[in-house]
Structure formats: structure tokens, C-alpha cells
Amino acid sequence: MSDKSTAALAHQFDDPEQQLEASTLGMWAFLATEILFFGGMFAAYAVYRLAYPQAFAAASNHLDILLGTVNTAVLIASSLTMVLAVYSAQFAGRRAQVTFLLATLLLGTIFLSIKGVEYAHKFHEHLVPGAGFRFDGADPRHAAIFFSLYFAMTGLHALHMVIGAGLLIALTVMSWRGRFSAVYYTPVEMVALYWHFVDVIWIFLFPLLYLIGRH
Amino acid sequence: MSPVVEPIIAPENLPPRVNYLNAGYGIRSWLLTKDHKRIALLYLASITFFFFIGGAAAVLFRLELLTPQSDLLQAETYNKLFTIHGLIMVFFFLIPSIPAVLGNFLVPMMIGARDLAFPRINLLSWYIFIIGGMFTLTAIILGGVDTGWTFYTPYSTTYANTYVIITAAGVFITGFSSILTGLNFIVTIHKMRAPGMTWMRLPLFIWAQYATSLINLLGTPVLAISIFLIAIERAFRLGIFDPALGGDPVLFQHLFWFYSHPAVYIMILPAMGVISEVITCFSRKRIFGYSFIAVSSLAIAVLGFFVWGHHMFVSSQSIYAGLIFSFLSMFVAIPSAVKVFNWTATLYKGSIIYQTPLLYALGFIGLFTIGGLTGIFVATLAIDVHVHDTYFIIAHFHYIMVGGALMGYLGGLHFWWPKITGRLYPEGWARLSALIIFVGFNLTFFPQFILGYLGMPRRYAAYPDEFQVLNVMSSAGASILGIGYLIPMIYFIWSMRYGPLAGPNPWNAKGLEWTTPSPPTTENFEHKPHITEEAYAYEVKEEKVVG
Ligand SMILES: [Cu+2]
């Protein structure tokens, strides 16, 4: 095994192919875990949405549809730049790699900033559950559950975005040092899988929280 | 005496001059190791530590239960002790026991790999485990927690005045250590098998680890999120589970048991894998019905995700849901029985050698059968209404988790101890303690079946006078059991230094791990093995082709 090995081949693997296959399967397995992780909250959401449809519809009208839509567009755009980053890690030079990685990072930061603005609005409108919660609809108790789930789900999603941003910074540094080529680009590919997954979670969160029952 | 007991140490049987144990010295070489075998030993030390904490809690409440009144302990202290016992034993001992110790050591060796696919993640998972353990210990030292290991709402979120959030954080964090171990095993088993190691040639221990890892990967995140919701509900006064704020406490039970029923299989499936290995080796026979045992592991893992409602027959779940969950729960008995029948058929007409690991395996079969059959009792709606939350349940799951999982763990530890340390444990003492454990276990838990059937509820420090005789029997059994656990602890440590040298294969067992020297070198195999025969080819006389 030693004569064939490249610098990036870990000792437990026989060849780069096995290493790439193992990393890919590992990432998919991790995403399966993540689906179940979010799944618990989606289940809770489904239960309460079915139990209290009016309260949930009334509460969801208090979300800012414009900011939500803009954020959806920003995230989809970031998925595109991420794909281009993977492509350039294989086939293009350092400049293109770093550009697309930084573009993805920038879009991710925009998403998080907009999310922060939305959270601030909710705070001023006393829609954060807890002692200061005030809701002038028909069923404030169950509207509070909606907002509990809203903050828990989008908060957990945002936490994943923050982790993703950290990974993108690490990738940018590695890419700047010229670590990636057509032979070895596994880290870029793995982070891309993660990033797309986080986007897909948002693609589910957006209609569930912002759109259903809107009038 | 058979040659198995006293191997003749030929020069080629001496341990390699540099092996994984002496490849590096000093605390750093251990704390920063990426060798799966060393990480297994890190886990072994840590879970043994937790086992004795959980055991100490049990000693205290079994002492309290000697008398009907709550005299030795106040009710609050009693509640904290059984909570600590449950939390520590489930999350910090049983769940990691076989996968993280024996699995870590054996999965790469059994499939002919140099290490797991992700050695760094493997080390990370140990650190996560330790951090989670620190949180839980902190909660205990600060004053404990009294919710029971199940964290039922709204008690845990609203009424408990104990350290729920810190404990929840500990369980949440530890969950990721089993997720990462499971992920590592799945990838390793898929991608790292040596040439010729087809799926149907895998040792059954590997199949069991694979099925367990699937549950870890798909179940543990749901537990994590439910515990997370408990913590934020408690911290921010949200109303997700609290009925006073419009939430639904039964939703928590659904989420919790969606993981925590399969968690029983996280404990028992790896033990079943150990039993398959031990039984074939000491009956010198091929396993009977290899593919049935392999597939039944997967069947148990999959079915296990569809039976959680049997914990909620009396929690306002609809009667129709109860019927379906009852039916599905009984279904799990089928793959479990398939295994028991196959092990028995393997023993039939085998050349049986009563070595300690086999004693544990036989104990496992008997106790697991009792635990499994009483599982059918409690899966039956009408009987469960009668015995729900009584000592019958306690006895039932201890027959599975202690009589099954713990016996499997101890059997496996004895079986692979010569491989792990290169030395033999003292056989006489080991047989004696296996016997003590078997007797002590039954004396502890069989009376609890009767107590529960007579109606003694679980989780109370005081009980009516007429239950005292059975409770004294149970406490007496627990002290015998405790002695049974201390003896192996002592002779294992003794044997690391003074045990006779084991040689590569003291049991004449089949399997790739026995083709390596004991203790193995860091790289496990000198040459990449090529596998040309099925597992457990005990009747076949030719040697396995290696190299
Ligand atoms: Cu169950």
C-alpha cells in the first residue's frame, strides 16, 4: 500500500478511491442522522399544526413573508455557488475556488443577518415565547407553541448554517494553500453535501412556517 | 485438562516485541491515540468507572428496600438514586459497553482492516462521551436529579426542582458519541472489508454491530432532539410539552420511546453477536443457520422502530393504536426466537468445552429467554394494564439488559481478553464468578416478578409489610451479584501482569482476529488477509489462507 499512497491518503485506506467512497458514505450516513434529528421537531410541528390549525395559521401571519422569500432565494443562490466551488476544486485553479467559496460564505452570512433582523422584529413585537409573550389573536396559548417551534426549528437551522460557515472558512484556507486538485477534493465535496442538506431543510421550513394557512 | 486451558508457549506464540500496547508510552500516547484498539481500552476504563457509580446507587437503594419503611433514605434521595442508577447504567454503561469496547477493538480486526474508516472521529467520540459523562457527574455532585431516566414531562420540565438541564445536556452530548461510533462502524463494514470478505462471510458479531449501528444512527438523534426540547422548555418556559401552557406531555413519551425502545436493541443485539461467536467456538461447530441469524439482527433493528407505543398503553393512547403496537411488539419475538433456536441447534451434538465465555453464553440464553417471554406478557394489553409500572417491568427489563446484555458483555470480555491483553485470566476464578453472577442475578430479580405481579409499584422508597420477604431476598441477591462483579474486576487486573501468556489463538477459534499475534500490532495484520472460506469453518481441517 505504501508505494501507491499520496500525501492525503490515510494509513487505514488502501487507495484514494476507497478513501473517497468511505468519506462519501460517512457523510450520507451523517445526513441520515441529521434528518432524524430535525425529524423529531417536524413531528412535533405536524402534531400541533393538526391539533390547532387556526392558532397556527394566525401565528404564521406574523412572520415576515418578504424577508423569508428573500432568504430562500439567497440560500438557493448559495447552493449554486457551492456547486461551482466543487467544480472548480476539480477543474479550475485556486482563484476560482476561493472566489466561489467566499461567495457561498457571503450568501450564508447574508442569510444569517436577515434571520437576525427577523428575530429582532419578533422580539420587539413580544412574540418570543416566555414571560414577555403577547399575542392579540384568538388563541395565544397555542400561538405560543407555534413560536416556540418557530424559534427552535429556525434556530437549529441557523446553528447548522453557522457551523457550515466555519467549514467554508476552513476550506477557503485549504484552497488558498493549493490543497485541492482533480485527484483530491474530498473535503470540498463533503462540505457541499452538508451545505445542500442545510438548504433543503430550509426549503421545508419555509413553506411549513411561512406559507401554509397564510391569508 | 484440555490444551485450551494451558497453552504451551512456543516461541512463535510470544507476543510481538512491539505491539499496540507498548507502541507508545505516556499519557499523551493514550489520550491522543487514533488506534481503534487503544480507544477500545479508553472506553473500557471509562465505562467500568461508570458501572461502579451506577452500581453504588443500586447498593444504596437495595439497602433501603430491606425494610418496608423509608428509613435509611428519604423519599427524595431514593428518587435521585434510582434516577442516577438508570441514567448511568443505560447511557454510560450498557449502550456503549459492547459496541464501544469490544466493537471498537474487533470490527476492524474481524473484517481484515487496519483501523476503522475514521480513526479521528473515533477518538472524538470518546471525548464526547467523557464530556457528556462530566455533565452528568456534575449534576449528581451538585445535588442530583429525580425525574427517572425517562425524563417524563411535565414533571421534568415544570415541577422537578433538581438539576434537569445539566443532566439533559449530558445525555444529549453522549448521544453524539454513539451516533459517531455507529457511523464509523457502518462505513467501515461497507468499505473496509478485506478481499474475499463477502457479506455472507462476515462474522455474526459484525452483523450484530451493523444492525446496532443503524439504530444508533437513526434513533439517537430523535432522543437528542426530545431531550433538547425538554431543556429549552424548562429554561425558557415554553409550552411544547407542558399541558398548562397548551402542550402535550404524551408527545414527549412518543418521541422518547421512539429512541428508547430501540435502545434496548442497542444493548441486546451486540450481546447476541458475542453469543454467536462464543457458542460456535466452544461447541467446535459451524453456526446453525448463519443467514437466519444475520438477517434476524437486521429484522430486530427494523421492527424495533415500530413498537414504541407499548410503553404507553396506559398513557391515553387510543385503544386501536395500543392493539397495533401490541401486535407489532409480539412480532419482535420471532427474530429473537430464531436466534435462540439456532444457538441451541449449534450446541446440539457439538463437542462442548465449558470455558468461562460459554458459561456466560449459556446463562445468556436462559436469562434472555425468560426476559423475552415476559416481554410477551407485558406486550399483551390486558396484562400490561395490571403490571404496568410495577416491579414486574423492572424484573422483565433487567432480565434483558443485565441477564442478556451484561452477560454478553462479560462473556465477550472473557473470550477476547487474551487477544486484548495477550494474557489468560484465571479460569477457575472466572468460572466461579460466572456462577456467582448467575445465582445472584436470579435471586435479585426473580422475586421482583412476583412482587410486581402482586402489585408492588416501582419507584417508591416504602412498601407494605407483606412484601418484605421478597424484597430481602432481592437485596440479598444483589449483594451476591455485587461480589460476582468484583471478582472479575480483580482477576482481570491481576492477569494483565501475572496471567499466563495466551499466544495468538488460545481457544483454537476461527476468525481473522485470531490469526494475529496477542496483543496485536498497531497495524493489526502483517499482510492484508485474503479470505477464502466462510465464517466458523470449524469442521474444515485446512488452515485459513492468510497473506
Ligand atoms: Cu419497549
Domains and CATH numbers, chain B: 31-515 (1.20.210.10)
When pLDDT is averaged across residues B156-177 and rounded to a whole number, the result is 94
Mark yes or no for CB contact B217/A43 under 8 Å: no
The answer for B112, left when phi > 0, alpha when psi is -120 to 50, beta otherwise, is left
* Residues of chain B positioned with their CB less than 8 A from the CB of A14: 528
- Whole-angstrom Cα distance, residue B509 to residue B249? 52
Chain B residues within 8 A of A41 when measuring between CB atoms: 225, 229
CA distance B512 to B104: 15
How high is the pLDDT of residue B55?
96
Q: What is the pLDDT of residue B130?
A: 97
CA–centroid distance, residue B310 to ligand 1 (Å): 6
- pLDDT, tens only, B26-49: 899 999 999 999 999 999 999 999
- Give the residue numbers spanning the domain of A146: 32-211
Determine the pLDDT at residue A5: 36
Nearest by Cα to B451 from B394, B503, B508, B411: B394
pLDDT of residue A2: 36
Residue B194 to residue B375: CA distance in whole angstroms: 40
Please state the rounded mean pLDDT for residues A135-155: 90
At B542 the pLDDT is: 45
What's chain B's average pLDDT? 93
Answer whether residue A41 is part of any domain: yes
Residue type present at position A106: L
Q: Which residues of B touch A33 (CB under 8 A)?
A: 179, 183, 217-218, 220-221
What pLDDT does B430 receive?
97
| Percent with pLDDT over 70 in chain B | 96
- CATH code: domain of residue A86: 1.20.120.80
pLDDT of residue B545: 47
List pLDDT tens digits, range B126-166: 999 999 999 999 999 999 999 999 999 889 988 888 999 99
Does residue A8 lie in a domain region? no
Q: Which of A62-66, A104-108, B505-509, B538-542 has the lowest mean pLDDT?
A: B538-542
Q: Do B191 and A22 touch (CB under 8 A)?
A: yes
pLDDT value of residue B421: 95
Does residue A215 register a pLDDT over 90?
A: no
What's at B228, amino acid-wise?
Answer: F
Let me know if residue A22 belongs to a domain: no
Residue A26 falls inside a structural domain: no
With contact defined as beta carbons under 8 Å apart, do B547 and B194 qualify?
no
Give the C-alpha separation, B206 to B196, whole Å.
15
Decide if pLDDT at B260 tops 90: yes
A12 and B229 within 8 Å at the Cβ level: the answer is no
A 10 A CB-CB count for A31 gives 16
Smallest Cβ distance to B114: which of A12, A32, A41?
A12
Per-residue confidence (pLDDT) for residue B51, from 0 to 100:
97
Distance CA A35, CA A194 (A): 12
Three-state SS for B108-164 is HHHHCCCCCCCHHHHHHHHHHHHHHHHHHHHHHHHCCCCCCCCCCCCHHHHHCCCCH
Calculate the CA dihedral of residues A54, A58, A59, A61 and round it to 10 degrees: 140
> B307 CA to middle of ligand 1, Å?
7
- CB contact under 8 Å between A25 and B190, yes or no, is yes
pLDDT at A4 over 70: no
Query: How many Cα atoms sit within 13 Å of A5 on the Cβ side?
Result: 11
B24 versus A205: the higher-pLDDT residue is A205
Q: How many CB atoms lie within 10 A of CB B269?
A: 30
Residues of A with Cβ-Cβ distance to B191 under 8 angstroms? 18, 21-22, 25
Q: Using an 8 Å Cβ cutoff, are A40 and B226 in contact?
A: yes
Q: What 8-state DSSP symbol labels residue B13?
A: G
Domain membership flag for residue A196: yes
- Backbone angles phi and psi of B131, in degrees to 5: -65, -45
Q: Is A116 on the interface with B (CB under 8 A)?
A: no
- Tens of pLDDT, residue by residue over B78-99, are 999 999 999 999 999 999 999 9
- How many CA atoms, within 13 angstroms, populate the side-chain half-sphere of residue B31? 5
Share of chain B above pLDDT 90, in %: 85
pLDDT at A198 over 60: yes
Q: Residue B255 pLDDT more than 70?
A: yes
Asked if B224 lies within 8 A of A37 by C-beta distance, the reply is: yes
Minimum distance, in Å, between the CA of residue B329 and any CA atom of chain A: 22
In angstroms, rounded to a whole number, what is the distance separating the alpha carbons of residues A72 and A92? 28
Q: What is the DSSP letter of A131?
A: T
Give tens-digit pLDDT for B210-244. 999 999 999 999 999 999 999 999 988 888 898 88
Query: In angstroms, what is the span from residue A116 Cα to ligand 1's centroid?
Result: 42
Chain B interface includes A10 (CB < 8 A):
yes
The three cell numbers of residue A155 are 434556530
In B, which residues are within 8 Å of A141 by CB distance? 239, 245-246
Burial class (CB in 10 A: 0-12, 13-18, 19+), B488: buried
**Dihedral sign, CA of B26, B29, B32, B33?**
negative
- Is the CB of A12 less than 8 angstroms away from the CB of B117? yes
For A143, name the nearest residue in chain B, comparing CA atoms only. Answer: B246
The answer to whether B222 contacts A51, with C-beta atoms less than 8 Å apart, is no
Identify the pLDDT of residue B12: 65
Query: What per-residue string of b and e applies to B517-526 under the rule 16 or more CB within 10 Å gives b?
Result: bbbbbbebbe
CA distance B61 to B83: 11
Question: Is the C-alpha dihedral spanning B46, B47, B48, B54 positive or negative?
Answer: positive
Q: How far is A142 from chain B (nearest CA, A)?
A: 6
How many domains does the structure of chain A reveal?
1
Average pLDDT score over residue span A87-109: 93
Query: Which tens digits make up the pLDDT trace of B424-456?
Result: 999 999 999 999 999 999 999 999 999 999 999
The three three-digit cell numbers of residue B487, written as one number:
471478582
Residue A182 belongs to a domain = yes
- DSSP-derived 3-state class of residue B242: coil
Cell of residue B204, nine digits: 455474526
Under an 8 A CB cutoff, do A129 and B236 touch? yes
Alpha-carbon torsion (A186, A188, A191, A197), positive or negative: negative
Which tens digit of pLDDT belongs to each residue from A10-55?
Answer: 888 988 889 989 999 999 999 999 999 999 999 999 999 999 999 9
Among partner residues A10, A30, A144, which is closest to B239 by beta-carbon distance?
A144
ipTM of the complex: 0.90
> Which pLDDT score, from 0 to 100, does residue B10 have?
66
Concatenate the DSSP letters of all residues of B467-516 into one string. Answer: GHHHHHHHHHHHHHHHHHHHHHHHHHHHHHHHSPB--S-TT---SGGGGS
Using CB atoms, which residue from A43, A129, A152 is nearest to B255? A43
Q: End-to-end CA distance of chain B, in Å? A: 34
CA distance A155 to chain B (A): 12
Q: Could you tell me the sign of the dihedral formed by the alpha carbons of B16, B17, B22, B24, in that order?
A: negative
The predicted model gives B410-423 an average pLDDT of 96
Q: What's the pLDDT tens digit per position in B49-83?
A: 999 999 999 999 999 999 999 889 999 999 999 99
For residue A157, the SS3 value is helix
For B329-443, strand residue ranges (E) read: none
Closest chain B CA to residue A21: B191
**A33, B187: Cβ pair inside 8 Å?**
no
In a domain, A23, yes or no: no
B540 pLDDT more than 60: no
How far does residue B245's CA lie from ligand 1's centre (Å)? 29
Q: How far apart are CA A85 and CA A99, in angstroms?
A: 8
For residue A2, being part of any structural domain is answered with: no
Cell of B222: 430523535
- Shortest CB distance from B187 goes to which of A26, A40, A142? A26
Q: How far is B330 from B249, CA to CA, in rounded Å? A: 27
- Preceding amide of B519 cis, omega within 30: yes
Cβ neighbours for B227, distance < 8 A, ≥ 6 positions apart:
B151, B168, B171, B172, B175
Distances in Å between the alpha carbon of B323 and those of B79, B375, B388, B410, B419? 32, 15, 16, 37, 48
| Chain B CB contacts of A18 below 8 Å | 191-192
Residue B543: band (very low, low, confident or very high) from pLDDT cuts 50, 70, 90: very low
Cα-to-centroid distance, B312 and ligand 1 (Å): 10
CA of A99 to the centre of ligand 1 (A): 52
- Phi and psi at B423, nearest 5°, equal -130, 155
Q: How far apart are CA B138 and CA B169, in angstroms?
A: 11
Residue B195, sorted as left (phi over 0), alpha (psi -120 to 50) or beta, turns out to be: beta
What would the mean pLDDT of B464-487 be, rounded to a whole number? Answer: 96
**CA nearest B460: which of B73, B129, B97?**
B73
Whether A145 and B219 lie within 8 Å, measured CB to CB? no
| 3-class DSSP state of B328 | helix
Q: How far lies B204's CA from each of B106, B110, B268, B326, in Å?
A: 12, 10, 14, 29
Contact pairs from chain A to chain B, CB under 8 Å: 115
Dihedral sign from CA coordinates of B271, B275, B281, B285: negative
